[in-house]
Amino acid sequence: MRSRRAAIGGRLLVRLATSVMVLWGAVTVSFCALHLTPGSVEDALVGTTIVTPEVRAQIAVDYGLDRPLLVQYGAYLGRVVSGDLGYSYQRHESVVSAIGAGIGPSLQLAGAGMALALVVATVSALTTAGRARWIRGLASGAELVGTSVPMFWVGILLLTVFSFQLGWMPAVGGDGLTGLVLPAISMAIPVGALLSQVMREGLERVLQQPFALTARARGMSDGGVRLRHALRHALLPVITLAGWLFGMLLGAMVVTEKVFSRPGLGVLMLDAVHGKDLPVVMGVVLVSATVYVVVNTGLDLIYPVIDPRLREAT
């Protein structure tokens, strides 16, 4: 028993160390990428406006741009460890507060979109897997459309119908739930369609397995077979995919944020990349990488709960 705990502890330590390496790598790569692209930060800040040489010098001093690149990198890493992500060049606020303002709406949107997508995918896969040809055809047709239509197009269509025409939802300034419904739906459509495809395929494979036949032979109802046996098997690849999608959504959200005029990490990142606002770019990269790591670690912990075989393995 003790040795097993030690093994789990060891695995956790390794996991933690690799996570730190991932985060360090993410920060370093983004630092290099932004410094390797042509153009200086001062130039990006000044743009095409006319500033006095004193203002230019002040910018360089304020942001430590007059120091060698390696020193800037070292200083940045040092500050990150102490929880200070620096000060935005353009936004006149600390990176922590800029991200703090954006991460709430982003997580809400990604979370709501993801949850909705999972529910829709599960329901649709459970009800259509292994059914008559025309039902499956209908479902997979809908999925194909869902994964193919661009997210912004869905967003604008939803706004046109439910906001401009029917007036059910505000197009702008919606707080809380009313402001979240349409953006979450527009995100859930492509994600849900993709997950539904994967899940139905998995379900259909499982339903052909001998144990499914055995369960039916025991007199179990069709719904029971699907819910108690098949779903668990089909869920694993979906959960893996969902974890990856969640991380991706944080970035892909910029389109939805633009269409629905929502603040969030996507818009923050886009503006920062355009303006060469290094501290914000690196801050968002770091936070996104952290979210990835946390979500994937969380998923690793969930796998054994879903699949008992993995429990034995540990």
Partner 1 sequence: MHRALPSSRWIRGIRRPTSRIVLPTVLTLAAGLGLTACSSSADSEAKASAPVQGGTLRFAVHTQPTNLDPHSSPSDVTALLTRHVVDSLVAIDAEGKIKPWLATSWTVSPDQRSYTFTLRDGVRFSDGTSFDAAAVKANLDHVVDPKTKSALAAGLIPAYERTEVLDPLTAKVTFSRPHAPFLASLSTPYLGIQSPAALARGQEALARNVVGSGPFVMESFEPGKLVTYRRNPDYAWPPQDAELKGPAYLDRLEISIIPEDSIRVGALSSGQVDAIGGVPSVSVKQLEANPNITVQRQQASGGNYNYYPNTSAGPFADVRVRQAFRVGIDFATIVKSLYFGVYEPATSPIAAVTVGYDPGTRDLQRHDPQAAAALLDQAGWTGRDDEGYRTRDGQRLVVRWMFVRAIAREQRPVLAEQVQAAARKIGIDVQFLDVTLSTYPGIAARGDYDLADFSWQRIDADALRDLFHSTNVPTETGSGANAARYQDKQVDAWLDRTLETGDPAERAELYASIQRKVLEDAAVFPVYSPSYVFATSKRANGISWEQPAYPAFYGAWTTGE
- The reply on whether position 159 binds partner 1 by CB under 8 A is yes
Q: Give the chain's radius of gyration (CA, Å).
A: 24
Exposure letters 174-204 (e unless 16+ CB within 10 A, then b): beeeebbbbbbbbbbbbbbbbbbbbbbebbb
Interface residue with partner 1, options 10, 274, 294, 298 (CB under 8 A): 274
- The reply on whether position 142 binds partner 1 by CB under 8 A is no
- The reply on whether position 168 binds partner 1 by CB under 8 A is no
Give the Å distances, CA to CA, from 187 to 50, 196, 289.
Answer: 42, 14, 21
- Shortest Å, Cβ 43 to partner 1: 4
- Residue placing its CB nearer to partner 1 in the complex, 33 or 172: 172
- The reply on whether position 49 binds partner 1 by CB under 8 A is yes
For residue 238, which of 206, 204, 208, 196 has the smallest C-alpha distance? 196
- The reply on whether position 65 binds partner 1 by CB under 8 A is no
Q: Which span (4-12, 69-77, 228-236, 263-271) binds partner 1, by CB under 8 A? A: 263-271
Q: How many residues bind partner 1 (CB under 8 A)?
A: 55
Q: Phi/psi at 94 (nearest 5 deg)?
A: -75, 155
Q: How far apart are the first and last CA of the chain?
A: 12
- The reply on whether position 255 binds partner 1 by CB under 8 A is yes
- Residue placing its CB nearer to partner 1 in the complex, 54 or 312: 54
Strand partners, 94: 87
- Residue placing its CB nearer to partner 1 in the complex, 113 or 179: 179
Cβ contact 90:275 at 8 Å? yes
Binding mask 195-234 for partner 1 (x = CB under 8 A): ----------------------------------------
For residue 273, which of 7, 41, 75 has the smallest C-alpha distance? 41
- Shortest Å, Cβ 190 to partner 1: 15
Interface residue with partner 1, options 6, 18, 153, 178 (CB under 8 A): 153
Cβ contact 283:90 at 8 Å? no
Q: Phi/psi at 172 (nearest 5 deg)?
A: -135, 155
Query: Please, which residues have CB within 8 angstroms of residue 272's CB and are 6 or more apart in sequence?
Result: 88, 90, 280, 281, 284
- The reply on whether position 176 binds partner 1 by CB under 8 A is no
- The reply on whether position 38 binds partner 1 by CB under 8 A is yes
- Residue placing its CB nearer to partner 1 in the complex, 247 or 264: 264
Instruction: Kindly list the residues in this chain that would bind partner 1 in the complex (CB under 8 A).
Output: 37-41, 43-44, 46-55, 57-59, 62, 90-93, 101, 152-153, 156-157, 159-161, 163-165, 167, 170-173, 255, 258-264, 267, 270-271, 274-276
